[in-house]
Chains A and B, each alone.
Chain A
Amino acid sequence: MDSYDASSTGREQEKKDIVTRRVFLKSAGRLGALLAVGSAAITLDAASQTAQMPASSPSTTPATPSPAPPLPGPVVSNAVVIAEKDPVMKVLTERPLTANVTAENLNDAVTPTNRMFIRNNLLIPDLQAAGHTLTIKGLVDKPMTLTLDDLKGTFPAATMQGMLECAGSGRTAFSPLPKGTPWNPSGGYGCPKWTGARLRDILKAAGVKPSAVHVAFFGADFGELPTAPPVARSIPLRKAMEQNTLVAWAINGEPLPKVHGFPLRMVVPGWVASASTKWLVGIEVLDAPFKGTYMDDSYRVPAHPVAPGEKMPKESVSTEAWPVKSVITAPAPGAKFKIGESIAVAGKAWAGENSIAKVEISLDEGVTWKRAALAKPGDKYAWRTFTLTVQPQRQGYGTILARATDSKGNVQPIVAAWNPLGYFWNGIHRVGVIVEKA
C-alpha cells in the first residue's frame, strides 16, 4: 500500500485495447505529448474547442510554440485518463471532464476502478506522492502538516466499501433539463472499496476546539484561468467525525488513480460526491459552513419544493446525503427473452445515511410489485445487491421497474422533485426488454 506504482494502472485496458475511440485517444495523447513540449495541458479537451472553429480556419500546422503562461502545475490530459478506463466508459463532457458507465455496466458487487465515474470542476492536477502534504488547521489545538508517510504511520488504516454519487447524477431524467453535467438517468455513481485514515482520528489528534461546527476540505486542483477559485466545501462536524469518513489513499486496494485524487482524497460516503474533495491538501475546522462558490452558488436545493422550471428560491439548503435510490443492472435495456424464460433481474440499492429495508420489482408499470431478495448487508455505506427471477408471460415490449424503501420508510418516487440545479434524481429506474414467442 505504501508504494505508488504507476505501472499498475491501465493494466485492465491493455487486455481489451480494442477499438476506435480509445485508440484515438491514446494516439492523441502521444501525439499531444510530441507536439506539446512543456505544455502538459494540451489535450483532446482543447480539441473540442477547435471543433467549433469554422471549416475554413487557416493553418493546420502548429506554429513554433511560444512560451505560454504556465498553469500552476502539470495536469493530466483527458486522453491519458480515458485510456486508463474501461471501454464502456462514456465521456459526457470534455471541458470539464465527466464520464460514466450506464447501469448495466455496474453489475459488480464492488465497482471496479476503471468503471468509477469521473466528475471534475477544474483540471486534473498531476501530483506526486513525494513531498505531498496535508495541512490541518483552523479551530484545532495543534495545527499539523503531515506527509503521506506521517499519515500512514500515525493513524490506523481503515478499509470500507462506500457509495459516492455526484449530486447531479441522473440529471437528464428531469424535465425541463436543468443546467449542469448531462448525466444519463442511470447516473454518476459507484461503490468501490476505499482505504485511508479515519478523519476523526486525525481531528482528535489535532484537538478540535469546542467552537467547531464545520470542517472544510481543500484540493490542489486548479482551472485554466488563474482567477478560478479552488473547489472547496465543508461538511458538518458530526459527519466529519463519522467513522467511515476517510482521508483515503487507495481505491480497491491500489493507489488512487490521478483522476480520482492521487495521492489523497476525502471520502464522505453516502453524501453528494462534491463533499469528497480530491487531491486533498488542506483541512480546516471552522465555526460555520465554508463560504465559497461551490457551497453558495451550486450544490444547493430549494428549502421548499418549486415548480419545474422555476428559479432557485432565496431559501435553499446545501446538498448532503443522498435519498433512497435503486438501479437495475441486469438485464440490460433491449435484452431479448422468450415467453416463460427466466430473467435474472439484479440491481443495487442505497440510501445515503439510512439503510435499505426492501426492494420491489414490477413487470406491469407499478400496478403490482414483487419483493426482491437482498444480499447480506455489508459496510454501512455500501450499496445492497438485489435479485429476483421473473418469467415474462406476455409477448412484446415489456418493462422492469425497481423501487427501494429505506429503513426510515422513505420510498423511491416515480419522479424526483424537480430542482433548478437538477440534483438528487432518485426516480424509479425502468428497463425495457423484448419478449418473443417461445
Chain B
Amino acid sequence: MRRHKAFRTIACLSLLLAAGSLLDLPPAAGQQQTEKLAEGTGSDLVQAKCTLCHDVGHITRIRQSRDEWEDTLTTMGRRGAPITPAEKAIILEYLTKHYGK
C-alpha cells in the first residue's frame, strides 16, 4: 500500500504540474487543497495517516477538545484507519495542541 500511495503521489504531482503549466490553472477546486497542517511533532504522521482518506481541511477547519479528538480517532479506527496505539497517542497530542479548543 505504501508503494502504491507513493506512486500515486508522484504521478499526481507531475500531473498537477503538467496540467498547471499547460493551462492557466485556477485556484484549486476544493479550497481545502491549499490548506496545510500546522507544523509540529506528529504532523508527518497525521499527514501520512489521515490524508489516506481525507482532505487536510477536514482537520484544519474544526476545533475539538482532547476528548472529542479521541472519539474521532476511535471512530476512524473502526473505519479502518491503520493507526497503532502508539501512533494514536502521538496524533491525539498533535491534534489537541494545534486544533484543540
Question: What is the interface of chain A, defined by CB distance below 8 A to chain B?
Answer: 20-21, 23-25, 27-28, 31-32, 35-36, 39, 41-44, 46-53, 57, 59-63, 65-66, 68-69, 82, 91-96, 122, 176-180, 182, 223-229, 293, 297-298, 309, 311-312, 420
Inter-subunit contact B75/A46 (CB<8 Å) = no
Residue picked from B4, B10, B29, B61, most chain A C-beta under 10 Å: B29
Is B40 at the interface (CB under 8 A from chain A)? no
Q: Which residues of A contact B29 (CB under 8 A)?
A: 21, 25, 44, 82, 91, 94
Inter-subunit contact B8/A311 (CB<8 Å) = no
Given A31-B18, A68-B7, A225-B53: A94 in contact with B32 (beta carbons within 8 A): yes
CB distance from A307 to the nearest CB of B (A): 14
Considering only CB atoms, which chain B residue lies closest to A63 in the complex?
B10
Q: Which residues of B contact A178 (CB under 8 A)?
A: 62
Q: Which residues of A contact B57 (CB under 8 A)?
A: 93, 182
State A60–B18 Cα separation when bound (angstroms).
9
Considering only CB atoms, which chain A residue lies closest to B32 in the complex?
A93
Inter-subunit contact A66/B67 (CB<8 Å) = no
CB distance from B94 to the nearest CB of A (A): 15
Q: Which residues of B contact A69 (CB under 8 A)?
A: 1, 3-4
CB distance from A78 to the nearest CB of B (A): 8
Q: Which residues of B contact A180 (CB under 8 A)?
A: 58
Considering only CB atoms, which chain A residue lies closest to B78 in the complex?
A293
Given A24-B23, A223-B80: A176 in contact with B14 (beta carbons within 8 A): no
Is B51 at the interface (CB under 8 A from chain A)? yes
Inter-subunit contact A27/B79 (CB<8 Å) = no
The contact of B55 among A31, A50, A93, by CB within 8 Å, is: A93
Is B64 at the interface (CB under 8 A from chain A)? yes
A-B pairs with beta carbons under 8 Å apart, 20 shown: A21-B29, A32-B11, A35-B11, A39-B8, A47-B12, A48-B28, A49-B51, A51-B28, A57-B13, A69-B3, A93-B54, A94-B32, A95-B51, A96-B53, A122-B53, A179-B62, A223-B53, A227-B82, A228-B53, A311-B65
State A49–B9 Cα separation when bound (angstroms).
7
Given A47-B15, A63-B7, A82-B29: A182 in contact with B61 (beta carbons within 8 A): yes
Considering only CB atoms, which chain A residue lies closest to B29 in the complex?
A91
Inter-subunit contact A51/B23 (CB<8 Å) = no
Q: Which residues of A contact B53 (CB under 8 A)?
A: 95-96, 122, 223-225, 228
Considering only CB atoms, which chain B residue lies closest to A172 in the complex?
B61
Inter-subunit contact B33/A228 (CB<8 Å) = no
Inter-subunit contact B30/A179 (CB<8 Å) = no
CB distance from B31 to the nearest CB of A (A): 8
Inter-subunit contact B3/A68 (CB<8 Å) = yes
Known interface pairs A66-B3, A293-B79; 16 further A-B residue pairs with C-beta atoms within 8 A, sorted by A's residue number:
A21-B26, A24-B25, A32-B11, A39-B4, A39-B11, A48-B28, A48-B32, A48-B51, A51-B34, A53-B13, A65-B11, A93-B54, A93-B57, A176-B63, A179-B62, A229-B80
Is B89 at the interface (CB under 8 A from chain A)? no
Question: What is the interface of chain B, defined by CB distance below 8 A to chain A?
Answer: 1, 3-4, 7-20, 22-26, 28-30, 32-34, 36-37, 47, 51-58, 61-65, 67-68, 71-72, 75, 78-82, 101
Inter-subunit contact A27/B4 (CB<8 Å) = no
State A178–B78 Cα separation when bound (angstroms).
20
The contact of A49 among B12, B18, B20, B23, by CB within 8 Å, is: B12
Inter-subunit contact B19/A31 (CB<8 Å) = yes
Q: Which residues of A contact B64 (CB under 8 A)?
A: 179
Considering only CB atoms, which chain A residue lies closest to B54 in the complex?
A95
Considering only CB atoms, which chain A residue lies closest to B15 in the complex?
A31
Q: Which residues of A contact B68 (CB under 8 A)?
A: 311, 420
The contact of A92 among B9, B13, B24, B30, by CB within 8 Å, is: B30
State A420–B58 Cα separation when bound (angstroms).
15
The contact of A297 among B24, B75, B81, by CB within 8 Å, is: B75
Considering only CB atoms, which chain B residue lies closest to A48 in the complex?
B33
State A176–B52 Cα separation when bound (angstroms).
26
State A41–B4 Cα separation when bound (angstroms).
10
Residue picked from B3, B4, B64, B82, most chain A C-beta under 10 Å: B4
Inter-subunit contact A51/B16 (CB<8 Å) = yes
Q: Which residues of A contact B15 (CB under 8 A)?
A: 28, 31-32, 35, 42, 47
State A420–B71 Cα separation when bound (angstroms).
12
State A363–B72 Cα separation when bound (angstroms).
42
Inter-subunit contact A227/B80 (CB<8 Å) = yes
Q: Which residues of A contact B28 (CB under 8 A)?
A: 48, 51
Given A39-B7, A224-B53: A50 in contact with B16 (beta carbons within 8 A): yes
State A414–B26 Cα separation when bound (angstroms).
37
